[in-house]
Amino acid sequence: MTTQQLTEEIKRKKSFLCIGLDVDLDKIPSHLLQQEEDPIFSFNKAIIDATHDLAVAYKPNIAFYEAYGIKGWQALAKTIEYLNSNYPEIYTIADAKRGDIGNTASMYAKAFFEDMKFDSVTVAPYMGKDSVEPFLEFTDKHTILLALTSNAGAFDFQTKDVGGKPLYQVVLETSQQYKNNENLMYVVGATKAEYFEEIRKIVPNSFLLVPGVGAQGGNLQDVCKYGLNDSVGLLINSSRGIIFASNKEDFAECAREQALKMQKEMEDILKDK
């Protein structure tokens, strides 16, 4: 999916909601564990079917599938195949946070873009240019670079002064020199809303993937105040607050209720804008 197609879908749905499919078998409804051969996929399918008209993107965090070995990978593959086959208008994000050099990066890119057919993948920039550019070689795919994350440990490195600038700003500026940098997006945590104004000065036109709204305490209004651009330019992710709204048989309906609340708030924000 191209950036233009994603923007058009945002305008059509009046939503820039991304739902994180971070499936924990200890938290999903017990009847799925008892009745379903593949409870992870069954859970994901029910969430997707209940919310696909409210969300423009889904983001499985790969760790929640790797943790269950081959069965987890199979459930992930089935989930993405289901999305691509039934809801091709949906943007898919592999939240893998890969970051290695040369041929290794190329293999990671091939795995997520060619084999699993994700639209995008999150990448850690710590190892620099040659760990990012192999991902950027794929046409109409996006590399979502970690810039300023929502976790408490972000301040260990990301805001440290480097030549008079915080490191996350150096990452943003340096990445704009990479080959095919038009395929870049960036992760910026909602819990760091006060930084969005400065970030938009450096990457005014790029999409920002924003985790941290809801369970982690981020505020949607604050993020949008400084983060929206003329093409919207935001994907607001919510995971636990939506998918684990209930652990009973009504889990999909409750997930929809929470997604609808966020979509309505986004619709109002877009209307005001």
Please tell me the distance from the alpha carbon of residue 221 to that of residue 64, in angstroms, as a whole number: 29
Tokens standing for residue 272 = 């005001």
Marked catalytic residue, from 14, 71, 78, 97: 97
Active site (annotated) includes residue 59: no
**Residue whose entry in the numeric block shows the structure tokens 């005014």:** 204
How wide is the angle at C-alpha 201 spanned by C-alphas 199 and 206, nearest 5°?
70
DSSP secondary structure, 71-135, as one string:
HHHHHHHHHHHHHHHH-TTSEEEEEEEE---HHHHHHHHIIIIIIS--SEEEE--TT-HHHHHHH
Q: State which amino acid sits at residue 4.
A: Q
DSSP assigned state of 238: E
The set of residues, in sequence order, having a beta carbon less than 8 Å from that of 50 and lying 6+ positions away, is 252, 253, 255, 256, 259
Tokens standing for residue 194 = 């006060």
Tokens standing for residue 254 = 């409750």
Please tell me the distance from the alpha carbon of residue 89 to that of residue 62, in angstroms, as a whole number: 22
Q: State which amino acid sits at residue 222.
A: D
A 10 A CB-CB count for 230 gives 9
Task: Cite the active site residues.
Answer: 97
